[in-house]
Homo-oligomer: A and B are copies of this chain.
Amino acid sequence: MGKNKKLTDDWESKKLDLVAGGRLLQDGLVYRQNISVRSFEIGGDRKMSFGALLNHLQDTALNQGIITGLLVDGFGSTQEMSRNNLIWVVSTLHVVVDRYPTWTEVVEVDTWMYASGKNGLGRDWIFRDSKTGETLANATSVYVMMNRETRKLSKIAKEMRDELEPYVMDCERPIINKDGRKIQKLDVSAADQRCTGLSPGWKDMDINQHVSNVKYIDWILESVPHSLMERYDLNAMTLEYKKECDMDSVLQSLSKRVSEGSTYSFSASKVVEFDHLLRLENGREILRGRTVWKLRDTNNRVNSYIY
């Protein structure tokens, strides 16, 4: 417990105005924050969109860094990282949504970090119904370090490991089992759907001059048939980031149904799965992904939503 003493003292002495009321639990290792689903975060079904959910993954992770004092430079880096011009980048992300919260619902988010292998930082999240404690969503992610100038990946040096140590949980496992199946590189000639000529705008870049995660999700979802989205909910998404892209990149988004059945006919399926590939026009892989879609519960329709 001693290792966390300084952390909690630091935290107590900070006067941070996180209006969301975020706080530290379990000797400062778990960050908890309530979020209210806003009118601008919902889709036509009045449920929080997948993109909005992803926004809160990033936001609560950063808030934990701010409230503990671990992040110092506003780029999400620690003091040692900042000194060495290093930033965090997402390597893998796996999200499972059991139920999307609806407009005005209050969601309790817990998040924590742990060591992931020699050179990765794991982070998990649980989204719960703040009233009933029902689990709404789980997510798990691995971050690695990248040099901000050279854009090359970096090992986690001892001084950074020591710096992180008081803030990370003593566990090596994500809260959810990652989808164990390896995502094969999608055979381009076999793709059912493709969108081409995709390019990020200036407003799609985040503070580290990456294309924001939510933009990647948009591109992936653009290659999924709308007829699917009308009847199925996105239940799970797995992403493996292979390479950065920048404002000048021109991308293709390809997808292929991997569960049994045709891409355009879902009538007999309760679950439909797709493999995804985002690549540059020269063929270089940017991202591999898998999405799992579940037939929507028709008792839970738009029109049944009344305050």
Contacts and interface: CB of A to CB of B under 8 A. Distances in A.
Interface of A: 16-21, 34-36, 38-40, 42-44, 46, 49, 55-56, 58-59, 62, 66, 71-74, 103-106, 130-131, 202-203, 205-207, 209, 212, 214, 218, 226, 229, 305-307
A205 B40 CA distance: 11
A42 B207 contact: yes
9 contacts: A17-B105, A17-B130, A39-B55, A40-B59, A73-B306, A74-B305, A202-B226, A202-B229, A203-B218
A35, A38, A106 interface centre (most CB from chain B within 10 Å)? A38
A66 B307 contact: yes
Contacts of A226: 202
Q: How many copies does the complex hold?
A: 2
A207 B44 contact: yes
A33 to B, nearest CB: 10
Given A17-B104, A19-B34, A58 B40 contact: yes
B104 A66 contact: yes
A44, A56, A305 interface centre (most CB from chain B within 10 Å)? A44
A203 B49 contact: yes
Contact of A35 (B16, B19, B44, B58): B19
A59 B42 CA distance: 11
A53 to B, nearest CB: 11
Nearest to A19: B36
Contacts of A212: 40
Contacts of A207: 39, 42, 44, 46
A131 B203 CA distance: 29
Nearest to A65: B307
Given A16-B104, A20-B36, A74-B103, 19 more contacts: A17-B36, A17-B105, A18-B104, A19-B36, A19-B106, A40-B55, A40-B56, A40-B58, A40-B59, A40-B214, A43-B203, A44-B207, A44-B209, A46-B207, A49-B203, A73-B306, A74-B305, A74-B306, A203-B218
A229 B202 CA distance: 10
- A-B complex: 7 closest residue pairs judged by Cβ atoms: A19-B36, A40-B55, A39-B59, A17-B106, A19-B106, A39-B62, A19-B34
Contacts of A46: 74, 207
Contacts of A35: 19
Contacts of A66: 104, 307
Nearest to A54: B40
A34 B21 CA distance: 12
